[in-house]
């Protein structure tokens, strides 16, 4: 069974020879862009045994010239497919696809509503400050917020459509904003979910599989229940403060393929022996089952993790 067949079968609930796996890292900045990034991806895929070629996206919505308060969101420019950051990402995807083995499952990366809205301002004012300003904009300047959210949605849909044309099989959609400490349930539905779902639907409408990643910790996971209609695969921080393990996630998202298994920056994946890591992997699969399961982690792994450790996981999965 090829990697692509294994992944598609896991998504569609068909028989797999063993549970497929996927992991990713943020490559060091010096090899995260251009041709160096192509090589980084190809080397990672070859030397880790992952079943999915997850194509990272460091080509973010460009930085805004100067943040001057919440009205700045109403001044974000519109983007087209010709914009440099979009072209850079599409060029990366095309080169990776062209140089990858046959029967590779390609997974593009898309930063969701909130992440893409804060990227233009975060370098200037910092992460926590931009999160609070984003919330303030929604509550105090709805017109500016709505204009920005629509621009971001339109921009991401351009990227979705172009990824589909290049032959991408699925899109890893990183949704941010469900932390209990920011939006209320009602605010989240209006400010984040309504736009997230438009983009998730566009992924499906363009013939690709939708991988919903729910970012961060302290999440009100119930807010994502309505996303189920737009997701094929779901992934979240089961080892973070979400109070939702693999089995509970299966109940929250019935019929969806679950992706996860290990914490991403602590525990056996980081410091366990080969035997400890492999025994843990085998036990997780035995407990959860092989049906509609893609083995992975809560989020990206440490950049410096030895690739050999992921090969150990691949070996363990092939033996269950």
List of residues 6+ apart from 252 with CB closer than 8 A = 221, 222, 224, 225, 244
Per-position b or e across 15-26, b if 16+ CB within 10 A of its CB: ebebbbbbbbbe
Confidence category of residue 12, pLDDT binned at 50, 70, 90: very high
Q: How many CA atoms lie within 13 A of 270 on its CB side?
A: 12
Q: What is the pLDDT of residue 239?
A: 87
Q: What is the pLDDT of residues 207-259, one digit of tens each?
A: 999 999 999 988 999 999 999 999 999 999 988 777 799 999 999 999 999 99
Q: What is the pTM of this model?
A: 0.97
Tell me how far apart the alpha carbons of residues 21 and 96 are, in angstroms, rounded to a whole number.
19
Three-class SS state of 18: coil
Q: What is the pLDDT of residue 235?
A: 97
Per-position b or e across 46-67, b if 16+ CB within 10 A of its CB: eebbbbbbbbbbebbbeebeeb
Q: What is the pLDDT of residue 242?
A: 72
Cβ proximity of 52 and 22 under 8 Å: yes
Q: What is the pLDDT of residue 72?
A: 97
Domains of the chain plus CATH, in order, are 3-319 (3.20.20.210)
């Amino acid at each position: 069974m090829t990697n692509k067949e294994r992944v598609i079968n896991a998504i569609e609930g068909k028989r797999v020879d063993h549970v497929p796996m996927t992991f990713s890292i943020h490559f060091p900045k010096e090899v995260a862009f251009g041709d160096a990034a192509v090589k980084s991806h190809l080397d990672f895929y070859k030397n880790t045994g992952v079943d999915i070629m997850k194509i990272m996206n460091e080509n973010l919505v460009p930085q805004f010239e100067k943040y001057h308060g919440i009205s700045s969101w109403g001044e974000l420019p519109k983007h087209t497919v010709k914009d440099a950051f979009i072209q850079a990402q599409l060029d990366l995807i095309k080169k990776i696809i062209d140089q990858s083995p046959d029967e590779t499952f390609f997974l593009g990366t898309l930063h969701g509503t909130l992440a893409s809205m804060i990227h233009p301002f975060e370098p200037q004012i910092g992460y926590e400050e931009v999160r609070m300003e984003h919330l303030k904009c929604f509550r105090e300047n709805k017109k500016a917020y709505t204009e920005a959210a629509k621009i971001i949605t339109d921009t991401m849909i351009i990227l979705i459509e172009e990824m589909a044309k290049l032959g991408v099989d699925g899109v890893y959609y990183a949704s941010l904003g469900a932390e209990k400490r920011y939006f209320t349930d009602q605010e989240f539905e209006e400010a984040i979910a309504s736009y997230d779902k438009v983009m998730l639907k566009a992924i499906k409408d363009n013939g690709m599989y939708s991988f919903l990643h729910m970012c961060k910790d302290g999440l009100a996971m119930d807010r994502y229940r309505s996303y189920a209609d737009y997701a094929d695969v779901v992934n979240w921080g089961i080892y973070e403060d979400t109070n939702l393990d693999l089995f509970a996630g299966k109940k929250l998202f019935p019929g969806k393929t679950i992706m996860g298994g290990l914490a991403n920056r602590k525990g056996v994946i980081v410091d366990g022996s080969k035997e400890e890591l492999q025994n843990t992997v085998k036990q997780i699969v035995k407990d959860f089952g092989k049906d509609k399961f893609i083995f992975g982690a809560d989020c990206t792994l440490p950049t410096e993790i030895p690739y050999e450790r992921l090969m150990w996981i691949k070996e363990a999965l092939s033996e269950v």
